[in-house]
Amino acid sequence: MKNEEDDFYVGYLDNTSTKTKKTTRLFVVFSLLGLIAIASIFALTQNTFKNSTFELTTSTKITGVYHEMPYPMLKVKTAENTYKNILLLGFGKSSANPFLEKIRSKTPKLSGSILSIEGNLIYYNGKTLLQITNDEKISLVEKTNPNRLPKVEQVANNMEFKGEVIDPKCYFGVMKPGKGKIHRSCAALCIAGGIPPVLATNDENNISEYYLITDKKGNPIHKDILPYIGKPSLINGKVVRVEDWYQLQIDVNSIQDLNQPSKIY
C-alpha cells in the first residue's frame, strides 16, 4: 500500500492534501473541456433544419371556399384568379373533422360554402396549412354553391414514386425534423388521429413535390398506411390534380418498403 504523506480525503473534514486537491482540479478541468467538446460535436453534427414555420402564438383569420378532397380544405383567393388550397387540421394530433362537427350540424351541405376560420398557420415550400383549435372560431359566411368547388384534373393513371409518407402537420412546420426515423412515431399518431397522409418526393435536383394520399376511390386513408410511415418506399397510383395540390390514389397493399434509412430531411 502506498502511503502518500497522509493523503487521505474525508469529505466532511477540511484537511484535503494538496496532491488530492490537484488531482481533483485536474479532473474537473478535463471534464469541463470534455463537456465543451461533446456539446460542440453534438451541436455541429445536426442536420440542417428547414425554414418551415408554425405560428403557434399568432392566430390568423382566413376566409375561403370549404371543400374536401377528401380531406378538409379551404380554397383561398390570393390574387386575381389565383387560389391557394389550405389544408385544415385540428389541435394536436387530430384532424379538422371534430372541430367542423358543429358547423356541419348547422349547415347540411358544407362543401362549396364560404367559411371564415381563425387558427394558426403552418407553411413551408409553397404549401400552407391551418390548425383549428376552437370550433367557435369557424363561421359561415355564405351558403353552399357547387360552382365554387375547385376543378379536378386527371394527371396520370398509373405513376410510380419513390418517397416517404409523412404527416403534413409536423412536416410543414410544427416539428423539426418532421420526418424520418426520429419523427416516425409522432407521424403515425398524427395520421392515426385523422391528419391526412402525404407522400413527399425528392428528385435529383432536390425539388420536392407533395401528394395527398387517398384510397383507390379517393376516400381518406389513415390506419391502413401506418406501417409505411417515415420510411423510404415505392408507391404507385393514380394522380389527380386539384389546383395547387396533387392527390395520389393508391392501393395501400402495393406500397413497397425500400428498407433504407430515411434520407430526405
Output the smallest distance, CB 224 to other proteins, in A: 14
Does 259 participate in binding other proteins (rule CB under 8 A)?
Answer: yes
The β-bridge relationship of strands 198-202 and 152-166 is antiparallel
Does 206 participate in binding other proteins (rule CB under 8 A)?
Answer: no
Does 220 participate in binding other proteins (rule CB under 8 A)?
Answer: no
Which secondary structure element, helix H or strand E, spans residue 256, and what is its range?
strand 256-257
The helix/strand/coil state of 130 is strand
Which secondary structure element, helix H or strand E, spans residue 245, and what is its range?
strand 245-250
Does 92 participate in binding other proteins (rule CB under 8 A)?
Answer: yes
Output the smallest distance, CB 57 to other proteins, in A: 12
Does 207 participate in binding other proteins (rule CB under 8 A)?
Answer: no
Does 36 participate in binding other proteins (rule CB under 8 A)?
Answer: yes
The helix/strand/coil state of 28 is helix
Question: Applying CB under 8 A, which part among 17-25, 77-85, 112-120, 155-163 lies near other proteins?
Answer: 17-25
Does 120 participate in binding other proteins (rule CB under 8 A)?
Answer: no
Does 204 participate in binding other proteins (rule CB under 8 A)?
Answer: no
Does 127 participate in binding other proteins (rule CB under 8 A)?
Answer: no
String of b and e for 140-176 (b: at least 16 CB within 10 Å)? eeeebeeebbbeeeeeeeeeebebbbbbbbbbbbbbb
Contacts with other proteins: how many residues (CB under 8 A)? 68
Output the smallest distance, CB 89 to other proteins, in A: 12
Q: Which is nearer to other proteins, 77 or 126 (CB)?
A: 126
CA distance 109 to 53: 33
CA distance 150 to 85: 9
Interface with other proteins in residues 40-79 (CB under 8 A): 40-52, 54
Comparing CA positions, the residue from 76, 145, 153 lying closest to residue 111 is 145
Does 108 participate in binding other proteins (rule CB under 8 A)?
Answer: no
Comparing CA positions, the residue from 243, 178, 248 lying closest to residue 211 is 248
At 53, give phi and psi (nearest 5°).
-130, 140
Neighbours of 210 (CB within 10 A): 20
Interface with other proteins in residues 158-177 (CB under 8 A): 175-177
CA distance 60 to 42: 37
Question: Applying CB under 8 A, which part among 21-29, 61-69, 112-120, 238-246 lies near other proteins?
Answer: 21-29
Q: Which is nearer to other proteins, 64 or 164 (CB)?
A: 164
Output the smallest distance, CB 235 to other proteins, in A: 17
Instruction: Tell me which residues touch other proteins (CB under 8 A).
Output: 1, 3-4, 7-14, 16, 19-24, 27-28, 31-32, 34-52, 54, 91-94, 175-177, 180-186, 188-190, 192-193, 227, 231, 259-262, 265
